[in-house]
């Protein structure tokens, strides 16, 4: 019975997931040129407010999605880790741009080869920089992930979509 939630609990999960995915308070951690593309996506042409993510919070304690936008150097890595540690649960991390995903074309003494070496990442948006359409696609994938997450904070496997969304 433990892994088989009752009807009421699953509907509650669904409602909470719906509320969470349309009220994303994002923290943009912008370090490099990807920031321009982030701004283009966030502004009215592409308008992330359509997805309920239109209100960036510049305090990690008030945010629930960390957007890591731009190259992270080894000098910056402890700062980023602290920002992530300061976010309240539940939180999600988006790696925006190929430098945050893998290090990109940097392979040198200064650059972190992907932020997933220092923190968990929920959605990877590659590209140098990614087009706004890719960012919105990543944002929608994140919404799917938030919707499918159990209220207790347990995360679903990345590729599994809940039946209610696939139908």
Partner 1 sequence: MTDSFLIKSVTDQFPDAALASHAYRGDATVVLRRESLLEVARFLKEDPTTQMNFLMDLTAVDYSTFGKGPALAFFSSSGVSVRPTPEMPDQDPWPGPPDDARFAVLYHFYSTTHKHRLRLVVPVEEATPEVDSLTALWPGANWLEREAWDMFGVGFRGHPDLRRILMYEEFDGHPLRKDYPVNKRQPLIGPKN
CB of 112 to partner 1, least distance (A): 7
Q: Shortest Cβ distance from residue 101 to partner 1 (Å)?
A: 13
Distance CA 161, CA 49 (A): 24
- What 3-state class would DSSP assign to 149? coil
Site string for partner 1, 118-147 (x = CB under 8 A): x-----------------------------
Nearest to 149 by CA among 51, 12, 5, 17: 17
User: 134: helix, coil or strand?
Assistant: helix
The residue (of 58 and 109) whose beta carbon lies closer to partner 1 is 109
Closest CA to 151 of 58, 50, 15, 36: 15
Residue 45 or 75 with smaller CB distance to partner 1: 75
Closest separation between CB of residue 86 and partner 1, Å?
15
Contact (CB, 8 A) for 51 and 140? yes
User: Which residues in 62-121 contact partner 1 (CB under 8 A)?
Assistant: 74-75, 77-78, 81, 103, 108-110, 112-114, 117-118
Which CB atom, from 57 or from 81, has the smaller least distance to partner 1? 81
Q: What crossing angle do the helices spanning 132-148 and 7-21 adopt, rounded to 10°?
A: 150
- Binding site residues, partner 1, CB under 8 A: 74-75, 77-78, 81, 103, 108-110, 112-114, 117-118
């Amino acid at each position: 019975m433990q892994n088989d939630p009752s009807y009421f609990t699953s509907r509650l999960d669904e409602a909470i997931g719906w509320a969470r995915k349309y009220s994303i308070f994002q923290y943009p951690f912008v370090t490099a040129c990807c920031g321009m593309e982030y701004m283009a996506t966030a502004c009215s042409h592409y308008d992330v407010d359509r997805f309920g993510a239109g209100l960036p919070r510049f305090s990690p304690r008030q945010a629930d999605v960390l957007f890591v936008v731009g190259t992270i150097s080894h000098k910056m890595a402890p700062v980023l880790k602290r920002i992530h540690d300061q976010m309240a649960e539940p939180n999600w991390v988006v790696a925006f741009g190929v430098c945050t995903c893998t290090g990109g074309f940097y392979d040198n003494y200064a650059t972190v080869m992907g932020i997933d070496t220092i923190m968990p990442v929920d959605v990877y948006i590659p590209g140098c920089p990614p087009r706004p359409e890719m960012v919105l696609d990543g944002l929608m994938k994140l919404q799917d992930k938030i919707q499918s997450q159990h209220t207790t904070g347990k995360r679903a496997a990345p590729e599994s979509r809940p039946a209610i969304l696939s139908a």
